Amino acid sequence: MLTREDIIEALREAAFDRNEYWVAAGAAMVLYGIKDTAGDIDLGCTSRMADRLEEEGYETQVLPDGSRRIVFSESIELFENWIEGQAVFQEGLPVVSAAGLARMKEKLGREKDREDIILIKEYLSKC
């Protein structure tokens, strides 16, 4: 499991352009302090960044909606144009807004996402 420090270190080492990606899903919840750990780091990215990573030879899968999923490393996956709302900065990293994160998880509709939505809404009620 990845802690806040693990996530920050992994993203700083990856040295992605902060204007081309944003942290989403469980890793975003960790950066907001909603959860203590995440199993991996899911990122959204621009089409430009997805093009570049695909050209560099990273494993790429076209999803049913036509967007791409790119495996950057054992712990980092990127999803082309995957965002609701906007990105804000946490720890100097672009992160999907908490409200946007809740909407993203609502669209996924998995059981684990329903539990996360409750946690995110509790977080938002305290802000």
Tokens representing residue 53 in the block: 């990573």
pLDDT for the residue 98: 97
Q: Would residue 106 count as lying in a domain?
A: no
Does the residue 38 lie in any domain? yes
Calculate mean pLDDT across residues 85-102: 95
Residue 29 falls inside a structural domain: yes
Task: Read off the pLDDT of each residue in 100-116 and give the average, rounded to a whole number.
Answer: 93
Whether the predicted pLDDT of 121 surpasses 90 = yes
25-32 vs 98-108: helix axis angle to the nearest 10?
150
Q: DSSP secondary structure string, 9-64?
A: HHHHHHT--TTTEEEEHHHHHHHHTS-S-BSSEEEEE-HHHHHHHHHTT-EEEE-T
CATH number of the domain at 21, please: 3.30.460.40
pLDDT in tens, 25-53: 999 999 999 999 999 999 999 999 999 99
Q: Is residue 123 part of a domain?
A: no
- For the cut 90, the answer to whether the pLDDT of residue 91 exceeds it is no
Is 37 inside any structural domain?
Answer: yes
Instruction: Establish if 90 belongs to a structural domain.
Output: yes
Please give the residue range of the domain that contains residue 84: 4-97
Task: Please give the tally of structural domains in the chain.
Answer: 1
Angle at the Cα of 59 (from 53 to 63), degrees rounded to 5? Answer: 95
- 91 domain residue, yes or no: yes
Q: Is residue 58 over pLDDT 90?
A: yes
Residue 65 domain flag: yes
> What pairs with residue 90 in β-bridges?
93
> d(Cα 87, Cα 66) in Å, to the nearest integer?
22
